[in-house]
Amino acid sequence: TDEIMQQEIRPLVAVDIIEQLHRQFAILSGGRGKDGAPIITFPEFAGFSEIPDDDFLNVVTYLTSIPSLEAASIGFIIIIDRRRDKWSAVKASLTRIAGAFPGNLQLVFVLRPSRFIQRAIADIGIKLYRDDFKMKVPIIMLNSVSDLHGYIDKSQLTRELGGTLEYGHSQWIHHRTAIENFAMTVKTTAQMLQTFGTDLAETELPNDVQCTEELLSSHTDHHSKLKDELKLAVKQGATLLTCIREPVTRSANSKLSPDELENVATVERLLAQLDETEKAFDQFWTKHHLKLEQCLQLRHFEHDFREVKLTLDNLMETQAGFADIGDSVTRVENLLKEQKHLEEKGQEPLEKAQSLALHGEQLIQNNHYAVDSIRPKCVELRRICDDFTNETKKKYDILGKSLELHKQLDKASQWCEAGIYLLASQAVDKCQSQEGAETALVEIEKFLVTAKEHQLSNPKEFYNQFDMILTPEIKANAQRIVQKLEDVQEMFDKRQVSLKKLAAKQTRPVQPVAPHPESSPKRASPKITRPAA
């Protein structure tokens, strides 16, 4: 039912009545009256009375629909050429036109039969039957085309009517079908664009990269095909315009008839409509295509963000597992190597994260529609990078101090061992003499100088410097070594006291004594003896 109603509502087009038009029992030559009224001519047609009513009505309805509303509102001029016919044909023509003409009539011209008897009958008949024709417009009976020229300029009449207006019926049909085909093409193209635009507007954006790429590709392909259709339509209109203007192009003296000028205006209007439609479509497509591209950028960004964040989270988890600060120089050095390896391992993910954050900020600067989704992810990426970098620096600082601590403890321990060895190597018998005691004191003083070189002169200060990074085990070891330092220092202090006493004892002066009387056979004069060195 809907299809039938649409067919009834749809205006007639040339292709619907092409056979009836080709019979040429009525034509719209393009000529106009002095006031611009369109002229419809009914040429001599032997079987006019045999034309079915529907065919007649369709052709006349179609012809009256062609001129502009402005021209049609003036009223149509009808020219009925029955010069070779009989009065009965004139009567039949007037009756049919009066009963079925769908337009606004202004004037009717009848070229009466040329034969004398039929002309006389026509004169009597028109007087008798004028009221029967039910026409409220003048019916002017003419004897010849010369009479017609008194009412209508020859330039608006075809050669058949003694005029100079160029008219070819086949070409006229061709132009009408071409114009109507082009109008249909414009309408169909506009509908296609509108349908596609509606589909685009209602399309939900996908949530993953692959579906977004497929949608972008599909829409782009469809857009390209529609653009090709538009190009073809524009080319069709331009070709049609050239065909309509061809007489003027061919000859400078030629002029287009008012109907042909209206045809030109119609095609130009359709081309302008097509151009406006294309511009509106391009504007809409630009926005939609940008949104699809931004959607694809967002899906790539989100995909890369998930991958980078997973890698960074694993790095942070691995780094968090590096809680050991080492219990020896060797262990700390190994931990530093592991930390260095982790840092190198994290270099690429960190660079990717920084690059991705920069890319996200560029998307924001380019007015991406998903700013609220992108910005937090950029902040999160930079935060994790900063956390990893800061935590790495903190680990290096702690391990650096731990390494310094253990090296100092090792040096302190080695110093203690060397001190104990030095004390043990000083033979007691050699220290009994002044020279031996002084030599031993010099050795001890030289050795104690090395304590200052190794910054071990204040063990408690040394211990307090590293207190914050000490584990209970290392504290115990440090305390043991510090105690050992104090013990060794005490041993040195005691040894120094003992040696100084020995040295002082050996330098005390010896009182001179007289030799025993029995020791010498002769008395000698007393002599003073020097004490031993």
Q: Find all residues with CB under 8 Å of 14, minimum gap 6, and list them.
A: 21, 62, 173, 176, 177, 180
Q: What is the pLDDT of residue 117?
A: 47
The Cα 136–Cα 105 span in angstroms is 8
What are φ and ψ of residue 390, in 5° steps? -65, -40
DSSP string, 263-319: HHHHHHHHHHHHHHHHHHHHHHHHHHHHHHHHHHHHHHHHHHHHHHHHHHHHHHHHH
The Cα 56–Cα 292 span in angstroms is 56
The Cα 36–Cα 71 span in angstroms is 6
Looking at beta carbons, which pairs linking 112-117 to residues 24 or more positions away fall under 8 Å?
A: 112/82, 112/83, 112/141, 112/142, 112/143, 113/82, 113/83, 113/84, 113/85, 113/86, 113/87, 113/89, 114/83, 114/84
Q: What is the pLDDT of residue 455?
A: 56
CA nearest to 36, candidates 76, 66, 65: 76
Per-residue tokens: 21: 């038009």
The Cα 34–Cα 107 span in angstroms is 12
Q: What is the pLDDT of residue 151?
A: 93
Q: For 158, which DSSP code?
A: B
Is residue 112 packed enough to be buried (19+ CB in 10 Å), middle (13-18) or exposed (0-12)? Answer: buried
27-32 and 139-142 beta bridge pairing = unpaired
Q: What is the pLDDT of residue 522?
A: 41
Q: What is the pLDDT of residue 307?
A: 94
The Cα 324–Cα 335 span in angstroms is 8
**Exposure b/e, 219-252, CB count within 10 A at least 16 = b:** beeebeebeeebeebbebbeebbebbbebeeeee
Q: What is the pLDDT of residue 268?
A: 95
Strand partners, 111: 81, 142
Phi-psi region for residue 409, left (φ > 0), alpha (ψ -120 to 50) or beta?
Answer: alpha
Digit-by-digit pLDDT tens for the chain (533 residues) are 344 434 445 688 899 999 999 999 999 999 999 999 999 999 988 888 889 999 999 999 999 999 988 999 999 999 999 888 776 777 778 888 887 788 888 899 989 886 544 445 445 445 544 554 455 678 888 888 999 999 999 999 999 999 998 889 999 999 999 999 999 999 999 999 999 999 988 989 999 999 999 999 999 999 999 999 999 999 999 999 999 988 888 877 778 888 888 899 999 999 999 999 999 999 999 999 999 999 999 999 999 999 999 999 999 999 888 888 888 899 999 999 999 999 999 999 999 999 999 999 999 999 999 999 999 999 999 999 999 999 999 999 889 988 988 888 888 888 889 889 988 888 878 778 888 888 888 988 888 888 776 655 465 666 667 766 777 888 888 788 878 888 988 998 998 888 888 887 765 554 444 444 444 444 433 333 333 32
Q: What is the pLDDT of residue 477?
A: 83
Contact assessment for residue 111 and residue 119, using Cβ atoms and an 8 Å cutoff: no
Per-residue tokens: 482: 């510090």
Per-residue tokens: 60: 């006349």
Per-residue tokens: 11: 């205006």
CA nearest to 295, candidates 226, 214, 239: 214
Q: What is the pLDDT of residue 513?
A: 45
Q: What is the pLDDT of residue 429?
A: 80
* Chain centre to alpha carbon of residue 243: 44
The Cα 68–Cα 103 span in angstroms is 12
DSSP string, 108-133: EEEE--SSHHHHHHHHHHHHHHTGGG
Q: Find all residues with CB under 8 Å of 7, minimum gap 6, and list them.
A: none
Contact assessment for residue 262 and residue 68, using Cβ atoms and an 8 Å cutoff: yes
Neighbours of 10 (CB within 10 A): 9
Contact assessment for residue 144 and residue 171, using Cβ atoms and an 8 Å cutoff: no
